[in-house]
Structure formats: structure tokens, C-alpha cells
Amino acid sequence: MKQQEIPEKYRVDATAPSDYDPQGDFGRIFKKYSCLSCHVIKGRGFRLATDLTREGSLAQKKWLKNYFTVPYSMRPILTERMPKLFMSQDEINTVVNYFDMVLRDDAIDSVQIDLGDSKLIAEGKMLFSEKYGCQSCHQVGGKGGYVGPLVDLTGQRLTAGWVYHWIKNPQAYLSDTIDPNSGMSDSEARAVTAYLMSMRGGTPQ
């Protein structure tokens, strides 16, 4: 049988294997707890759980420390939950500091949101609950859908930069996510980000 050359538009380049291999105390801890058996970092590991490549720009340090201490109580509606590993406080500090210093994304870090702007927060609430119907999938104050994560504690858990960029284009960070790209404008995304970052327990603070 005659072989046909595959047209250029149908070709997919092979992904080069990752040579990511953390060293030092962080590398020792990651090997000890087999973190890459569930997580991906810089292209290496298994995506059974969160990709940690940008974790330092995604989650707040205080939240991360609490999460590693008692992970199963922090996100109770998730089907797959991280087990309690009984990590020492020194181990938790080492991991969180590594996230904060190394696993970062400059584009995410560059976004600043004025959480003192009450009009911006009110606009974001309207966009979230009315125009884009986000509450059909996400719960606020015990009301809403179960498809997506709770947003009551977004302001304690995530960074404004991550929330903004995820809202703008979730598929850029997780290609198979069911969170839709709603086509929000930059100003709308900033308003929704302000509203979500004001959430610290069910209502804007």
C-alpha cells in the first residue's frame, strides 16, 4: 500500500519528555510523598490532581499552608481529595516557599485588582449572577450549582491574577475543562475578579 504524506495542518509535533527533577529539600519531600504520581509540574507527572506548574501564582501562601495541614476539610465537595500526609511544619513551609519562589507565572502576577472599589465589586456581582449565570454551576452562600467549585472563599484561597486569567480563557490553562469561555471583556473580567476576591465566607467583605 502506498504511503501518503500527512498534510502539514494535520501534523502534531511530539511533546518532548520533561527533564524536570527538583533538587534539595523540596525534591526530597516530593520524592518522599510521591507527589508526581498525582500532580504534574513542568510537564512531568500524572494529572490526577492539580497541575502545580503555576501554583505559586495561583494560590495564596496562607491557604496553602492550611491546606497541607488538613487537606480534606478545605474543599469538601471535590470527589478526588488530597489525603492527609502528616507532613511536618518544616516540610509544609519548604513546599509552600518553593511554590511561592519557583512555580510562578509572570503574566498572572502582573494583574492588580482594586478591592476597595465597591462599584467594581457590585458590577462583578451582577455579571456573575445575572449576565453570565455563573451561579448555575458555582455555589455562593450555600446556593447554586455543584458542577464547579465553591467560590465563597475565593478571596482567601486564590490570587486575583489567577482568577482574572482563568475567567478570560479557562481552556488556556486546562484544555478539557467544562468551564466555558464566556468571552468576557477585560473590564468585565476585572469586575468579576473583584467580586470573587471579595468573597471570604459567602458574602463580599
Q: Residue for cell digits 447554586?
A: 144
pLDDT at 203: 44
Report the distance separating Cα 162 and Cα 56, nearest Å: 10
Report the distance separating Cα 192 and Cα 130, nearest Å: 12
- pLDDT tens string, the chain, 205 residues long: the values are 556 777 777 666 656 678 899 999 999 999 999 999 999 999 999 988 889 999 999 999 999 999 999 886 555 555 556 888 999 999 999 999 999 999 999 999 999 999 999 999 999 999 999 999 999 999 898 899 988 888 988 999 999 999 999 999 999 999 889 999 999 999 999 999 999 999 986 444 4
Report the distance separating Cα 196 and Cα 202, nearest Å: 10
| H or E element that contains 14 | none
Report the distance separating Cα 39 and Cα 45, nearest Å: 6
pLDDT at 79: 54
pLDDT at 205: 41
Fold of 111-197: Cytochrome Bc1 Complex; Chain D, domain 2 (1.10.760)
CA dihedral sign, ordered 82, 87, 93, 94: negative
CATH of 24-104, one of 1.10.645.10, 1.10.10.10, 3.30.70.20, 1.10.760.10: 1.10.760.10
The residues near 149 (Cβ < 8 Å, ≥ 6 apart) are 75, 77, 78, 138
Report the distance separating Cα 82 and Cα 55, nearest Å: 15
CA-based nearest residue to 153, from 164, 142, 169, 137: 142
Domain with CATH 1.10.760.10 in the chain: 24-104, 111-197
Q: In sequence order, what DSSP letters do the residues of 47-104 get, joined into one string? A: TTS-B-TTHHHHB-HHHHHHHHHSGGGTSTT-SS-PPP----HHHHHHHHHHHHHTS-
List alpha helices for the chain, DSSP H.
24-32, 55-58, 61-69, 89-101, 106-109, 118-126, 154-157, 160-168, 186-197
pLDDT at 34: 94
